[in-house]
Amino acid sequence: MTDELQITLEVIVVPVSDVDRSKEFYEERLGFHVDHDTTVDEATRIVQLTPPGSGCSIVIAKGIPQMEPGTLEGVQLVVSDLDAARSLFTSRGVEASEVVVRGPAEMDGSKFISFPDPDGNGWVVQELRARAET
Protein backbone atom coordinates (compact mmCIF):
# COMPACT_ATOMS: atom_id res chain seq x y z
CA MET A 1 0.00 0.00 0.00
CA THR A 2 1.06 3.55 -0.57
CA ASP A 3 0.68 6.56 1.69
CA GLU A 4 -1.95 7.96 -0.71
CA LEU A 5 -4.29 4.99 -0.35
CA GLN A 6 -7.15 5.68 2.03
CA ILE A 7 -9.35 2.90 3.31
CA THR A 8 -12.63 3.64 5.04
CA LEU A 9 -15.30 1.45 6.55
CA GLU A 10 -18.59 2.75 5.15
CA VAL A 11 -21.34 0.11 5.62
CA ILE A 12 -22.02 -2.85 7.91
CA VAL A 13 -24.82 -5.26 7.01
CA VAL A 14 -26.88 -6.13 10.11
CA PRO A 15 -28.82 -9.38 9.74
CA VAL A 16 -32.49 -8.94 10.71
CA SER A 17 -35.69 -10.94 10.41
CA ASP A 18 -38.14 -8.00 10.15
CA VAL A 19 -37.00 -4.88 8.28
CA ASP A 20 -39.85 -2.66 9.54
CA ARG A 21 -39.31 -3.62 13.21
CA SER A 22 -35.55 -3.11 12.89
CA LYS A 23 -35.93 0.20 11.06
CA GLU A 24 -38.13 1.48 13.90
CA PHE A 25 -35.58 0.33 16.50
CA TYR A 26 -32.56 1.96 14.85
CA GLU A 27 -34.40 5.13 13.78
CA GLU A 28 -36.72 5.81 16.72
CA ARG A 29 -34.85 4.27 19.64
CA LEU A 30 -31.22 4.85 18.69
CA GLY A 31 -31.72 8.02 16.64
CA PHE A 32 -30.06 6.77 13.44
CA HIS A 33 -30.85 8.78 10.28
CA VAL A 34 -32.61 6.89 7.46
CA ASP A 35 -30.44 7.52 4.39
CA HIS A 36 -32.68 5.52 2.10
CA ASP A 37 -35.42 2.90 2.17
CA THR A 38 -35.52 1.29 -1.25
CA THR A 39 -37.80 -1.45 -2.50
CA VAL A 40 -36.06 -2.98 -5.49
CA ASP A 41 -38.78 -5.51 -6.23
CA GLU A 42 -41.33 -7.56 -4.28
CA ALA A 43 -38.59 -9.73 -2.75
CA THR A 44 -35.87 -7.13 -2.13
CA ARG A 45 -35.81 -4.10 0.17
CA ILE A 46 -32.71 -2.26 1.41
CA VAL A 47 -32.68 0.30 4.24
CA GLN A 48 -29.49 2.23 5.04
CA LEU A 49 -29.24 4.11 8.35
CA THR A 50 -26.41 6.23 9.80
CA PRO A 51 -25.75 7.08 13.45
CA PRO A 52 -25.58 10.85 14.08
CA GLY A 53 -22.10 12.14 13.16
CA SER A 54 -20.86 8.77 11.87
CA GLY A 55 -19.00 8.09 8.64
CA CYS A 56 -20.22 4.49 8.69
CA SER A 57 -23.78 3.30 8.07
CA ILE A 58 -25.65 0.08 8.60
CA VAL A 59 -27.83 -1.75 6.10
CA ILE A 60 -30.83 -3.85 7.05
CA ALA A 61 -32.50 -5.70 4.22
CA LYS A 62 -34.56 -8.53 2.89
CA GLY A 63 -33.80 -10.39 -0.29
CA ILE A 64 -30.03 -10.07 -0.19
CA PRO A 65 -27.69 -12.80 1.04
CA GLN A 66 -26.76 -12.26 4.65
CA MET A 67 -26.00 -13.93 7.95
CA GLU A 68 -28.67 -15.49 10.12
CA PRO A 69 -30.61 -12.79 12.08
CA GLY A 70 -29.18 -12.29 15.56
CA THR A 71 -25.66 -13.53 14.78
CA LEU A 72 -23.82 -10.19 14.56
CA GLU A 73 -21.78 -9.50 17.71
CA GLY A 74 -19.48 -6.78 18.92
CA VAL A 75 -20.14 -3.94 16.50
CA GLN A 76 -19.16 -0.89 18.49
CA LEU A 77 -20.65 2.58 18.61
CA VAL A 78 -18.52 5.35 20.12
CA VAL A 79 -19.98 8.26 22.08
CA SER A 80 -18.56 11.24 23.95
CA ASP A 81 -20.89 10.80 26.97
CA LEU A 82 -21.87 7.23 27.77
CA ASP A 83 -24.16 8.10 30.66
CA ALA A 84 -26.16 10.47 28.43
CA ALA A 85 -26.31 7.88 25.64
CA ARG A 86 -27.47 5.15 28.04
CA SER A 87 -30.09 7.47 29.51
CA LEU A 88 -31.37 8.39 26.05
CA PHE A 89 -31.45 4.79 24.83
CA THR A 90 -33.20 3.41 27.94
CA SER A 91 -35.77 6.23 27.83
CA ARG A 92 -36.60 4.98 24.32
CA GLY A 93 -37.01 1.37 25.45
CA VAL A 94 -33.56 -0.01 24.64
CA GLU A 95 -32.51 -2.75 27.07
CA ALA A 96 -29.00 -1.41 27.77
CA SER A 97 -26.67 -2.96 30.33
CA GLU A 98 -25.28 -1.11 33.31
CA VAL A 99 -22.09 0.89 32.68
CA VAL A 100 -18.91 -1.19 32.96
CA VAL A 101 -15.46 0.39 33.37
CA ARG A 102 -12.51 -1.49 31.90
CA GLY A 103 -8.91 -0.59 31.37
CA PRO A 104 -5.95 0.63 33.38
CA ALA A 105 -6.23 3.73 35.55
CA GLU A 106 -3.56 5.55 33.53
CA MET A 107 -5.92 5.34 30.55
CA ASP A 108 -8.72 6.83 32.66
CA GLY A 109 -10.63 3.56 32.19
CA SER A 110 -12.93 2.87 29.27
CA LYS A 111 -16.66 2.89 29.89
CA PHE A 112 -18.97 0.52 28.03
CA ILE A 113 -22.59 -0.56 27.79
CA SER A 114 -24.11 -3.21 25.60
CA PHE A 115 -27.55 -3.92 24.20
CA PRO A 116 -29.30 -6.27 21.80
CA ASP A 117 -31.41 -5.21 18.84
CA PRO A 118 -34.83 -6.86 18.35
CA ASP A 119 -33.21 -9.90 16.67
CA GLY A 120 -30.52 -10.34 19.34
CA ASN A 121 -27.61 -8.80 17.40
CA GLY A 122 -25.16 -7.64 20.07
CA TRP A 123 -24.03 -3.99 20.12
CA VAL A 124 -21.41 -2.34 22.34
CA VAL A 125 -21.20 1.38 23.10
CA GLN A 126 -17.90 2.87 24.29
CA GLU A 127 -17.24 6.31 25.70
CA LEU A 128 -14.18 7.75 24.01
CA ARG A 129 -12.95 11.05 25.40
CA ALA A 130 -9.93 11.51 23.14
CA ARG A 131 -8.43 9.67 20.21
CA ALA A 132 -4.81 8.53 20.19
CA GLU A 133 -2.36 10.64 18.19
CA THR A 134 -1.42 9.08 14.83
11 phi and psi, to 5 degrees?
-145, 140
For the chain, domains (ranges, CATH) are 11-127 (3.10.180.10)
Question: What is the number of H-type helices and E-type strands within the chain?
Answer: 2, 8
Residue 110 pLDDT: 82
Residue 1 pLDDT: 47
Residue 83 pLDDT: 93
Residue 4 pLDDT: 77
Return the percent helix, strand and coil in the chain, to nearest 5: 20, 35, 45
**Contact yes or no for 101/113 (Cβ under 8 A):** no
Residue 66 pLDDT: 75
- Is the full-model pTM beyond 0.85? no
Residue 107 pLDDT: 56
Q: Which residues of the chain have pLDDT under 50?
A: 1, 134
